[in-house]
Structure 1
């Protein structure tokens, strides 16, 4: 049975909800999904999954968007992890009030690109909590991840 691992960082609950939506979608495609909060996760855990997903918020320090403090060690470890043959996707929340909207999503995508993993879907950035259009975007994100994983297996 194919597997997926989702690691999320969530201060307000928005990214935990985003991770839950992606998990439900991947389960519809027959994936066994393990969802873990980032402070409880290890980057090498992604080596045991076919699809690897991060869902994270962007913290603003006033001038620029930065990774959440609790995700820093995971982020650094991720860049040094070999994920060749895995498919990844990045999603998360931000707030359009800030100039650097959801930049942590892009930061994680860059980190994954250093692992040898294959990008399976376009990044999804959600303003605050997911609404109907965002859920559709997450459904497409999940479908794209599955399609890319299946194409690599073919």
Structure 2
């Protein structure tokens, strides 16, 4: 059993036998685990609802895209804009921290004059993060 002699043979053992105590505690722990009902955690979340009355912010915080189609129409993230509206959007992006990237993608058939005017608006707005997207469409031209 769990008995041991003292320091010298013949002396009584002074240490308490903790094995039965540990066994009883483990049995009680298992009984409590089994009898506790399973808790289901439900968290109520109020999701935003789509409504037409809330104006959407046309400026994305990461990257925005300016494109020009064949007819010379300017688009900001897919929505048609004028030169004045484009400048207002660019002025708002320049003051954001960090400044979002601006992706510029003109159509290959767009008039150079329109593309040049848009690039001038971008330059006057002091945009520092500008990238030309879709240059691979011109690789066969040269």
TM range (shorter): 0.3 to 0.5
- The higher relative CO (CA closer than 8 Å, separation ≥ 6) is in 1
Give 1 or 2: higher strand fraction: 1
Q: Which has the larger radius of gyration?
A: 2
TM-score normalised by structure 2 residue count: 0.37
Give 1 or 2: higher helix fraction: 1
